[in-house]
Amino acid sequence: MSRMDRPLAAALAGLLILGLCASLTISPAQGAGPFIQEDFNDLSHWEPLSFKDIHRRSRYTIVRQGNDFVLRASSQNAASAIVHQREFNVYRFPILSWRWKVENLYAHADARSKSGDDYPIRLYVLFPYKEEAASTWQKMKYNLVRAWYGQYPPLACLNYVWTSRRYEVEVLHNAYTDRARMLPLRMGRDHLGEWVREQRNIVKDYRRAFGEDPPQTGRLAIMNDSDNTGEQSVSYMDDIRLQPAQKEAD
């Protein structure tokens, strides 16, 4: 995915993907019921995020499809993201649902290589870094990233992805860091050009991906990136819901 400036890249290759939310201010979750109900009538709940060494940015716009407004994500040899403004408690609101559509795939994408680490659409759950629980080596790495970006990057992240090729596993390790896991929910041309609805339990997915309980707080982000393959794609997302566990069976 993203790459930091080359002088830092050699020392911090394991943290590259985790720079995603380093420049964002986090606010606490409040209220009951569904915590997020995003129908993409506008982008008022989202903040843009670009990367220092990637000059071409992905585009995120609101478009009408039928009677609905949806998010259109496009990139051409580019990478940037949008991040939801609010942090949430993953144990109070573990059920994440949404629908997405992909128009085209990347010919040279490969989730297992850095040169192919691009996805026409991905939905992140980011988990913040806590200095008091970190090892000495972690503190050194994260302090270097904070010095560069101004804030700590997240400790870990789940990536729900639509991959350009098929994989025979449920969880993929990210090509840049062992603190990110890729969950290929849709793969290849199956359902290409169609709206597909997804529903996941974040806590269960984190335990399966990392073999441990997740941190308490998380944050959502969306990205369409093509900076590694140099290709282009268009995708869509809509109807994101973040809900308590009792909603899972609805």
CATH code at position 187: 2.60.120.430
pLDDT, average across residues 48-74: 91
> Which residue type sits at 41?
N
- Quote the pLDDT of residue 22: 40
> How far apart, in whole angstroms, are the C-alpha atoms of residue 40 and residue 183?
24
In a domain, 69, yes or no: yes
Q: Does residue 106 contact residue 226 with C-beta atoms inside 8 Å?
A: yes
The share of the chain scoring above pLDDT 70, in percent, equals 74
- Residue with the bigger pLDDT between 217 and 139: it is 217
Domain containing residue 34? 6-247
216: in domain: yes
d(CA 119, CA 4): 19
* Average pLDDT for 72-90: 95
- Alpha-carbon span 19 to 111, nearest angstrom: 19
Backbone phi and psi for residue 18, each to the nearest 5 degrees, phi listed first: -80, -5
Q: Is pLDDT of 150 > 90? A: no
User: What is the total count of domains within the chain?
Assistant: 1
Please report whether residue 142 resides in a domain.
yes
How much of the chain is helix, strand and coil, in % rounded to 5? Answer: 20, 40, 45
Per the domain annotation, does 204 fall within a domain?
A: yes
The closest alpha carbon to 222, from 107, 105, 100, belongs to: 100
- Cα separation of 127 and 156, whole Å? 5
Residue 179 domain flag = yes
**Residue 96 covered by a domain:** yes
Tell me which DSSP letter residue 243 carries. Answer: E
Q: How far apart are CA 156 and CA 18, in angstroms?
A: 7
Cβ distance 180 to 174 under 8 Å?
Answer: yes
Residue 90, domain member (yes or no): yes
Q: Does some domain include residue 1?
A: no
Cβ-contact 21, 158 below 8 angstroms: no
Based on its alpha-carbon atoms, the radius of gyration of the chain, rounded to whole angstroms, reads 17
Residue holding tokens 């973040």?
242
